Every structure is written in structure tokens, then in C-alpha cells.
Structure 1
Amino acid sequence: MFHLVQRCCSHIPLKRVLSRPSRSQLLTQASACVTKAQEFHCSLRCLKKKKPKEPEPQQLGLLRHDMRSLKDSPKPAVYLGLAGLIPFVSVPVIMAIQQTYYPELAFAQMTYGATIVSFLGGVRWGFALPENSPAKPDWMNLGNSIVPPLLAWFAILFKDDLTPAAIMVIIGLGIALHYDLALLPTYPSWFKALRVLLTLVAIFSLVVTLGLMDVYPEKQLSNSASKSK
């Protein structure tokens, strides 16, 4: 009888018995599955939360901050800056009152504008040379400050034709303003705001003078002075 039972048991496949995991193995596998499920759930939540950042609209710092600080400008800078606009503004005003285009006044306005353009280039040198200045005396600061004086020199070369001369001065004022606001933004906010105001008025005055050239008849200022005598 014993031999019969032993023979029957020998035919039973032992692979199923041996391959059956124990209780501890089942718990380990279950915990691993739970951990993976939690990680997958957390990854899904992170994907939902982390949305691609939309590019913020680039607003000019000049409009947001610098122009607001115009009221903080030192009074000497404001008064002297506004006084420096008199040679620009007075020329088209006189022509409009006299209803006459005076080329001598237009040339004087253009020459004064060329002087201002050269002055703006020199300001960068004076700002970059001190040891504690935020602007370094490198090629960027000192090299770009040479461009406005060169444009002013080219403008004076066109003294026989005031239209390209005035256009060259306008370009020089625009480039100097671009340097101070965008390329070399190390000036105080109040100074940049004041620069915008003064530059716009100066450019507008030059444009008005060019427009009056085609509106009013041309007359030499020396001839009108001799007739008045």
C-alpha cells in the first residue's frame, strides 16, 4: 500500500507547488505594484500641473518705469534740458510767424543739433570712466559713443544741402537714444525718461523745419535785415 501511494505521488507535477509564491513574496510584489501605481499617479498630476509657460508680453521698461520717474529728475537737469530745446523750437516758430523760410536759421538749427549729438556721445565716456561707475570702459561703451560724433561730422559736411544734413542729425539723435535706452541701459531711470522727452521734441522741431522749406518762400535773413535798415 505504501509503495502504491509513493508511486502515485511521484507522478504529481511538482512545478506548480514549487512555482507558487509564498505569502511574503506576494506581499512584496503587491507593495511594489502599489508603489509604481502611486508614482504613475503622481507623474500624471505633475504633468497636469506643469503647463507650458506662455511667453510674457514684452513691455518696454521705459513706458512702465522710466517715464514714471520723470518727476524724480533733479531740477537743474530739467531746467537746463528744457532750455537746451530753445534753439530747436525757436527756429520753426520764427519761420511760422514770419511765414518765411530762412536757410540761415535752418543751418544754425542743424549745427546746434550736430553739437548736441556729439555731446550725447561724450556723455557716455564721462559716465564710463569713473571707477565706481556701473558702465565699464570697454569697447561696447566707448566704441559706440564715437558713432554719434561721426554722424554729426557727416551732417556738417552737407551744409550746402540742409535736407540730408538735418536727416543725418535726426538719425544721430535716434541712434544716441537707442544706445542709452536699449544697448547701454545703465543710466538712471529719470535721465532716460528726460532723454526721451528732449529727443522727441528736438526731432519734431527738425522735421517741422524741413516741412516749412516747401511751404513758405525762401528768403535770406541778411537781405531782410538790410531792408529793415
Structure 2
Amino acid sequence: MFHLLQRCCFQVSTKMVYLQRLSQPGRSKAACSPVFLECVLAVVPKPKFRQAPELASVTKGRGFHSSCCNWKKRKASEPETRELPLLRYDMEKLKDSPKPALYLGIAGLIPFVSVPLLMAILKASYPELVFAQIAYGASILSFLGGIRWGYALPEGSPAKPDWINLANSVVPSILAWFALLFKDDLTQAGIMVIIGLGIALHYDLALLPTYPSWFKALRAILTIVAVGSLITSMCIMNIYPEKHLTRGAIEMEESK
């Protein structure tokens, strides 16, 4: 066992091996004398520890870190706070809407929804009804601009009565006026109203100081239904044949 450890762990010279043999029993007393042993030990180098080749290659190319270990626990990173809540977080507050605002808002969708529904039942497109729907959408745009003025003027309101708030609240009214100028082209008029509704919703949700959460959720739902109704009316105009509500009166006057 001793010889195995010598071969694996130590580099033993031939002189050291000779010294070990001399120390075995049965050797001469002269060879085992202290003077002779001291002379041999002075010549024999000290044994060196044999380092594994893998460990030697690692220690040559890399130094070991010997600093003290830091046992302190690191603090977990805190999640970033949202400066602007998304619309999906505001939808949960829809149930907190005041009853008058909720009922009046839903009732305000009747002029939008009734026009495409009536034309789909009659399987005909009536330009007069479509123009009435567009005119109603233009009046709603002006109403949305007035809400911003009423929200910014009271003292202590989050929205200040500055140029940004008051000037942006005028934009929906201007778009509504442009929409009414295209009465001969109902498609362009409807697109103008849709753009105005989208801009007004963007102002109220993201750009300007926002309204309460329940009002933002209600505004989003009402705007989506109104825009969908306008798009449906324009599609029906291109699908079903065009008819006029006053066609019978005009034909009677021509016959006379």
C-alpha cells in the first residue's frame, strides 16, 4: 500500500528508494548508522506533491478567487409601476358607473344602431337615414369636446385649462363640421366621423389627464359600438340597392 501511494502521489527519487531499502531489517549496521543517514538525506531532495494534469492546466490559466464570501441576501427587484393603466384594468370599474350615466350612454346608441338594423331588415340603403346617422355622430363629437372643457375649468381638476387641453377639445368639433360638409359623399362623411371618434377616445384614454376609470370604460364601449354601426351602414350602402324615403312624393309631383 505504501508503494502504491508513492507511485500515485509523490515523486520519489532513486536515492530515496535506496534509503528505504537500507532501513529494512537485515542490513549492515554501517549502512544504518546515523551519520550515513544524515548524508543521504542531505542529498535527497524533498518529496513533491504530484498535481493532477487537469488541475495543473486549470491553475496555470486561471487564478483562484480568495476573497471572503458575502452571505447577505440580495433584495428582490421591485416590479415597475405602471404610470398609465391600460384599458383592460379600467373595464373592471364599469360596474361602478352611476346609473344615470350608464343608462343615458346606452340610450345614446339607439340612433347609431337603429339605422343599419332597419336597412338590413328592409334590404335597401337609404341615404337620408345614413346622413341622419352621420349628423348625429357629428353632434356627439361636439359633445365630447365640450366634456373636456367642463372637466378642465373647475378649480382643483386634474386637467388644467391650458392650451393643450382646451385646444385639443376643439378638434372633435372641427372634424364634425368637416363631416357635415361632405353631405353629397356619405362615405367620406362617415369616415370623417369615425376618425373624430377615434381621436376623441385617444385623447381621453392616453394623451390628456384622464377621466375616472368607470367613465373611460364606458367611453370605450360606446365608441366601439358607434364606430361599428357607421361601418355597417357604409357597407350596406354598397351591398343593397339605393332607395329614397321621399321617392313616392317626388313621383307624385312629377306625374302631376
- Normalising by structure 1, we get a TM-score of 0.74
Cα 1:58–1:185 change in 2 (3 A) is closer
Counterpart Cα distance in 1 of 2:216 and 2:127:
33
- What do the CA deviations read for 1:10-61 (whole angstroms, capped 9, x no partner)? xxxxxxxxxxxxxxxxxxxxxxxxxx945xx54xx78x95899998999952
Please point out which of 147, 167, 179 is paired with 1:123.
Answer: 147
CA RMSD, Structure 1 to Structure 2 (Å):
2.7
Determine if the alignment matches structure 1 residue 63 to structure 2 residue 68. no
Query: What count of residue pairs does the alignment treat as equivalent?
Result: 187
Q: 1:98 and 2:115 equivalent?
A: no
Cα shift readout 1:106-138 (whole Å, capped 9, x = no counterpart): 000001001101110110000000012111101
Normalised by the length of structure 2, the TM-score is 0.66
Q: Which residue of 2 aligns with 1:9?
A: none
Find out whether 1:214 has 2:241 as its counterpart.
Answer: no
* % same residue: 65
The CA distance in 2 between the partners of 1:63 and 1:186, in whole Å, is: 15
Report deviation, 1:214.
Answer: 1.0
Q: More displaced, 155-164 or 217-226?
A: 217-226
Does the Cα contact within 8 Å between 2:84 and 2:206 map onto a contact in 1? no
Alpha carbons of 1:76 and 1:55: their partners in 2 closer, same or farther (altered >3 Å)?
Answer: closer
User: Partner letter of residue 121 of structure 2?
Assistant: I
The one-character-per-residue Cα deviations of 1:147-197 (angstroms, maximum 9, x if unpaired) are: 111111111111110001000000000000000000124201100000001
Counterpart position of 2:173:
149
Larger Rg: 1 or 2? 2
Secondary structure at the residue paired with 1:186? coil
Partners of 2:93 and 2:82 in 1: CA distance: 22
Equivalent of 1:88 in 105, 108, 112: 112
Letter in 1 for 2:204: D
- Between Structure 1 and Structure 2, the one with more helix by share is 1
Relative to 1, partners in 2 of residues 1:126 and 1:56: Cα closer, same or farther, differing over 3 Å? closer
* Structure 1 residues not aligned, in runs of 5+: 1-35
Distance of 2:218 and 2:152 partners within structure 1: 20
Paired residue for 1:174, among 192, 198, 218? 198
2:164 pairs, out of 111, 130, 140, with 140
1:56 to 1:147, Cα distance in 2 relative to 1, 3 A: same
Is the partner of 2:239 in helix, strand or coil?
coil
User: C-alpha separation between the residues in 2 aligned to 1:119 and 1:59?
Assistant: 25
**In structure 1, what residue type is equivalent to 2:142?**
S
Aligned with residue 79 of structure 1, among 103, 111, 124:
103
Q: Would the alpha carbon gap of residues 225 and 86 (structure 1) be closer, same or farther in structure 2, given more than 3 Å must change?
A: farther
Q: Provide the rounded CA distance (Å) in 2 between the counterparts of 1:202 and 1:172.
A: 12
Distance (Å, rounded) in 1 between the aligned partners of 2:186 and 2:99? 35
